[in-house]
Chains A and B, each alone.
Chain A
C-alpha cells in the first residue's frame, strides 16, 4: 500500500462517513454542515488524484455556493433548528435494503473489475493550464451551451420564486403589487 493509497483511503473514509452522517442525522443544519466535510474530503481526494483544478472548483462551488444555498433553503422553509424526529420517512428499512443491494453490486463489480489495475499519478495532468486549454480548444461548444443553461436556470429560478410577476393582465388595473399577498390571504 503506497502513501497515495493510504491518504486516499483515509480521505475516502472521511467522505463516506460524513455522507452517512448527512443521511442519518436528526438535525437539518448539521446535515448541511456534514455535507461540507464530505465535499471537502472529496476535494482532497481529487488533489491526490492530481486533478487540482477540479479540486479547487469543488471547494469553490460545492462548499462555497451550494451548501450556502442549501442553508438558505433550510432557513427560508422555517425548518426547526434543533432535533426533529420526523426527518426519516416510513420506508426507511426498504431504503436501507435498496442501498445495501446497490452498494453490494457496485462494490463487487468494481473490485472484481479493477482488482489488478494500477494507474500512475503524474503531477500536472489536471492543472488549470491543461484544463483551460482543453475547455477552450476542444470543448468550447459545450461550454457555451452550458452558459445558456445557466442563464435559463437563473431566469427560471427568478420566475419561480417571485410572486408578483405572474399575474400580468391585472398589472394595469392594480399598479402596486406589494399588497397583493395580503389580499390573497384574505380572499
Chain B
C-alpha cells in the first residue's frame, strides 16, 4: 500500500477540522471539529507505526492514549460549555467577548459571571 493514501486522507481531515474550528459559531460544533483534527493525527500515528514496523508499537499505543485524552477533553469542554450556557443562556463564541480589550463590555454581560459566586 502506498504511504500517500493514509497521509493524504489525514491531511484532508485535518484541514476540514481547521475550517470547522475557524468558521463555526456554536461551541459544540467547534468541539466536534477539534475531534476531527485529533482523528487526523491518530491516522498519521497508526500509519507511521505500521510503516516503521515499530516493535514497541509506540504509534498505536500513543493513538490509544490520544483517544483517552480526547474523551477527557470532550468531557471537560462540555462541562465548560454547559457552565457558559448556564451563565449566559447561549454558547455563541462570537458573542463571548468578555475577555476582549478594545470594546467596553456591556454591564449586563460583565456582571453575570460573578453573580453565581456572590449570590447567597
18 A-B pairs with CB atoms under 8 Å apart are A8-B6, A9-B5, A42-B42, A45-B43, A54-B46, A54-B60, A70-B28, A73-B28, A89-B93, A96-B19, A99-B18, A107-B11, A153-B76, A154-B75, A156-B76, A161-B79, A161-B82, A167-B117
**Whole-angstrom distance between the Cβ of A56 and the nearest chain B Cβ:** 11
Q: Does B102 contact A (CB under 8 A)?
A: no
Given contacts A61-B68, A99-B19, A131-B61, 7 further A-B contacts (CB under 8 A): A42-B13, A51-B46, A70-B31, A76-B82, A77-B91, A99-B22, A110-B11
Give the residue name and chain of the A residue nearest to B23 (CB): A95
Convert B44-58 into 0s and 1s, putting 1 for each residue whose CB lies closer than 8 angstroms to a CB of A.
001101110100111
Q: Which of A62, A86, A102, A146 contacts B65 (CB 8 A)?
A: A146
Interface size on A, residues (CB 8 A): 94
Instruction: Write the B82-120 contact mask toward A (1 if CB under 8 angstroms, else 0).
Output: 110110000111100000000000000000000111011
Q: Would B35 and A88 count as touching, CB distance under 8 A? A: no
| Minimum CB distance partner of A60 in chain B | B67
In chain A between 36 and 74, which residues have their CB closer than 8 angstroms to a CB of chain B?
38-39, 42, 45-46, 49-51, 53-54, 57-58, 61-62, 65-66, 69-70, 72-74
Which residues 1-50 of A have a CB within 8 angstroms of B?
Answer: 2, 4-5, 8-9, 12, 15-16, 19-20, 22-23, 28, 31-32, 35, 38-39, 42, 45-46, 49-50
Complex Cα–Cα for A16 and B56 (A): 30
Instruction: Kindly list chain B residues whose C-beta atoms are within 8 Å of the C-beta of A160.
Output: 76, 79-80, 82-83
Minimal Cβ-Cβ distance residue in A for B59: A51
B48 nearest in chain A by CB position: A119
A46 and B6 CA atoms in complex are apart in Å by 10
Q: A66-B71, A76-B85 in contact; A42/B39 too (CB < 8 A)?
A: yes
CB < 8 Å: which of A23, A73, A125, A131 contacts B53?
A125
A149 to chain B, nearest CB (A): 6
Q: Give every chain B residue within 8 A of A138 (Cβ-Cβ).
A: 56-57, 61
Complex: A98 Cα to B33 Cα, angstroms: 15
Knowing A8-B5, A12-B9, A135-B64, say if A90 contacts B94 (CB, 8 Å). yes
Please tell me if the beta carbons of B120 and A146 are within 8 angstroms of each other in the complex.
Answer: no
Instruction: Please list the 4 inter-chain residue pairs (A to B) with the smallest Cβ-Cβ separation, ordered nearest first.
Output: A95-B22, A99-B19, A106-B11, A23-B20
A5-B2, A111-B8 in contact; A187/B119 too (CB < 8 A)? yes
Chain B residues 1 to 44 lying within 8 A of chain A, measured CB to CB, are: 1-9, 11-20, 22-26, 28-29, 31-33, 35-36, 39, 42-43
Minimum CB–CB distance from A98 to chain B (whole Å) comes to 6
Residue of A20, A35, A46, A134 touching B46 (CB-CB under 8 A) = A46
